[in-house]
Amino acid sequence: MLRWVVWLLVLGNAGYFAWSQGYLSTLGLKPAEQREPHRMAQQVRPEALRLLNGPRADTAPAAIAQPVATNPPATAPVATPIEPAAAPVNTPTVAVAAGNGPRTCWQAGGFTDAQAELLRAELALLGLPASGFAFTEVRSGGRWIVYMGRYDNQQQLDRKKDELRGLGVSYREITAPGLAPGLALGTYSTEAAAQQAQQKAERDGVRTSKVAQERAESTSMSLRLPAITDTQRQAIDGLGEAMAGKRLQRCG
């Protein structure tokens, strides 16, 4: 039964295809032809037809675009270059007229070799001739003492002073770094002399003394100006760094 139904459907479709394509027109079986004039004649009031989604005429002129005011871009602050601090400039030394007046001898000591060379150059810039000044090497020997200390506080120091006064022993207070607060019972140019003095102090009843070096042997340079005027002396004292904090003294 199902087979007959399938065959009927196939035959029906084939017949419809032949009819729609005009293959059965010889038998008087063909679809009605819809031509353009025929369809136009069947239209009812075609002029009233309007497209719902068609383009619409503009009812108002487009607004003229106004330029939008914008703030100008912020300008990055320009860094002002900082001028480097000017290095201090030493006032150049200029020649000084000797001037009138009496000439006297002046001197200063305790210069190192480097300080002496700097001072020599400054004196030449002041206009002093090479014969007008002289540098001399001075050797300072070591200094030895019979020493008592170092004490923890001022109370201990004062108590020791009282003991020495009771024994009739003279002393002086020491201020040298590494030795103060302390007392010196005598000062000597050699260690041997200081040792002999320390032995005598023990015989006098001083039991806690010892020998110590207060100052080591050193070498320095001394300046001598045999005949300069007061104007020149003031100029030399005003050399500042070249004088290394020292001032001229009258020759002895």
Residues 6+ apart with CB under 8 A from 176: 214, 215
Domains belonging to the chain, first-starting first, are 104-140+219-250 (3.30.70.2030), 143-215 (no CATH)
Query: Do residues 170 and 159 make contact, with C-beta atoms less than 8 angstroms apart?
Result: no
Query: Do residues 227 and 103 make contact, with C-beta atoms less than 8 angstroms apart?
Result: yes
Going residue by residue through the chain (252 aa), what tens digit of pLDDT does each one get?
677 777 788 888 887 777 677 776 677 666 665 555 556 666 666 666 666 655 554 544 444 445 444 554 555 555 555 555 555 445 566 666 666 789 999 999 999 999 999 999 999 999 999 999 999 999 988 999 999 999 999 999 999 999 999 999 999 999 999 999 999 999 999 999 999 999 999 999 999 999 999 999 999 999 999 999 999 999 999 999 999 999 999 998
Q: Please tell me the pTM assigned to this model.
A: 0.44
User: Nearest 5°: phi and psi at 74?
Assistant: -60, 130
Strand partners, 218: 140
Q: Quote the CA–CA distance of 183 and 159 in Å, as a whole number.
A: 12
Give the CA count within 13 Å in the CB-facing half-sphere of 177: 1
Q: Quote the CA–CA distance of 57 and 55 in Å, as a whole number.
A: 7
Nearest residue to 147 (alpha-carbon basis) of 183, 196, 197: 183
| Three-state SS annotation for 129-177 | CHHHCEEEEEEECCEEEEEEECCCCHHHHHHHHHHHHHHCCCCEEECCC
A 10 A CB-CB count for 138 gives 13
Residues 6+ apart with CB under 8 A from 132: 123, 225, 226, 227, 228
